[in-house]
């Protein structure tokens, strides 16, 4: 269980330095299962050795994504022309159900239950706060279209719900789900690092070909459970503290804001779970990273975890090492972490761990487009 893996074990002391008025101040942070420590710099021989150990496998992945990108270039579908999501839905809404003031239903789940299993159903959710647990089951083709930025919220945790997955305020099990202008929220209080059973998911998606436009995701530990499948997030706001974008999805995040509310030394933006030779990973393109820190860009939840940040603006909230191996040193030889042309004070790669990569322009291109998620065959924008 993921909760046990992160909470059990002896308490370790995390160490890092901050500079105040020219003086180095040593901070010790107690966080079970997570050690914040100094890492090899670009000038260390250790970094060079580890770099070569992972380079071959990493570049194999780059080549594979690149092949898909070239196929899209040849077919003319590498960049799908952007259309306003509201116009897309107007043209292809199919059946429409309205929730909230003036609508047929007062509950989002009741509207989901009423949706048929043939063709797409658009559920227009009027402004307001809907405090309920929502599940979109397999077999239903559904769009949530927000009218006035409605909020879907519940306050379960892994402890109260029995597992991290079950804590989700909204769970998307169906393929082809679309959300536009919706706020997904878990209202459980933010825990300290290492707290047991406090994972609290705002949205979990395990269906394939899911797309989110102009959506907000609010939580703390484990806000967005990108569990499985291919997903696209455009112009979204995602807030959390510990591992707040996590799972084993194959997902592209474009022009999103990732906002940390983590306590110093007790957070991570991502925890990608790839295991074995899966075609999964997270690509963040043109995103803005803000909030509190210092935190990690990512932790290796899975032994073959994959995450890249491309042309992102990163505030001064990232630990110099950038990445954490989950306390399993063997993962340093099998994870795939990279950056390309990121800006801002948190983007400096000189202190990054030796098992992370700096991509070239040619290597970065396939991760910048929908080729990464084979999106030309299913995305509507």
* Residue numbers annotated as active site: 243
Q: Enumerate the H helices of the chain as residue ranges.
A: 2-7, 45-75, 85-91, 108-114, 158-161, 361-364
Q: Is 361 exposed, middle or buried (0-12, 13-18, 19+ CB in 10 A)?
A: exposed
Q: By C-alpha distance, which of 126, 204, 127, 121 is closest to 161? A: 204
Q: Given phi > 0 = left and psi -120 to 50 = alpha, else beta, which region is 374?
A: left
Q: In the numeric block, which tokens belong to residue 44? A: 């260390």
Q: How far is Cα 53 from Cα 56, in angstroms, rounded to an integer?
A: 7
In the block, residue with structure tokens 């279209």: 145
Phi, psi of 296 (to 5 degrees): -90, 150
Q: Which residues contact 348 (CB under 8 A, 6 or more apart)?
A: 320
Q: How far is Cα 37 from Cα 26, in angstroms, rounded to an integer?
A: 11
In the block, residue with structure tokens 């074990």: 9
């Amino acid at each position: 269980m993921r909760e046990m893996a992160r909470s059990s074990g002896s308490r370790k002391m995390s160490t890092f330095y901050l500079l105040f008025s020219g003086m180095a101040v040593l901070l010790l942070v107690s966080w079970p299962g997570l050690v914040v420590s100094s890492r090899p710099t670009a000038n260390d021989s250790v970094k060079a050795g580890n770099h070569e150990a992972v380079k071959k496998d990493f570049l194999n992945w780059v080549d594979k994504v690149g092949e898909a990108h070239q196929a899209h270039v040849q077919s003319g579908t590498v960049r799908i022309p952007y259309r306003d999501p509201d116009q897309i839905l107007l043209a292809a809404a199919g059946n429409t159900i309205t929730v909230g003031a003036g609508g047929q239903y007062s509950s989002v789940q009741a509207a989901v239950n009423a949706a048929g299993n043939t063709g797409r159903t658009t559920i227009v959710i009027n402004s307001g706060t809907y405090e309920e647990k929502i599940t979109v089951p397999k077999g239903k083709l559904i769009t949530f279209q927000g009218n006035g930025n409605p909020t879907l919220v519940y306050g379960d945790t892994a402890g109260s719900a029995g597992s991290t997955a079950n804590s989700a305020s909204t769970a998307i099990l169906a393929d082809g789900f679309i959300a536009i202008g919706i706020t997904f929220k878990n209202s459980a209080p933010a825990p300290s690092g290492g707290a047991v059973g406090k994972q609290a998911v705002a949205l979990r998606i395990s269906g394939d070909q899911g797309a989110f436009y102009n959506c907000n995701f609010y939580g703390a530990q484990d806000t967005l459970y990108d569990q499985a499948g291919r997903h696209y997030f455009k112009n979204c706001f995602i807030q959390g503290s510990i591992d707040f974008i996590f799972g084993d999805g194959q997902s592209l995040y474009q022009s999103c804001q990732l906002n940390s509310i983590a306590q110093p030394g007790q957070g991570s933006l991502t925890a990608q779970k790839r295991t074995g030779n899966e075609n999964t990973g997270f690509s963040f393109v043109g995103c803005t990273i803000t909030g509190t820190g210092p935190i990690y860009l990512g932790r290796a939840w899975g032994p073959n975890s994959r995450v890249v940040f491309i042309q992102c603006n990163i505030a001064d909230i990232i630990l110099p090492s950038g990445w954490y191996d989950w306390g399993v040193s063997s993962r340093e030889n099998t994870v795939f972490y990279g950056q390309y042309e990121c800006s801002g004070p948190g983007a400096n790669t000189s202190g990054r761990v030796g098992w992370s990569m700096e991509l070239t322009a040619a290597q970065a291109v396939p991760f910048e487009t929908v080729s990464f998620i084979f999106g030309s065959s299913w995305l509507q924008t």
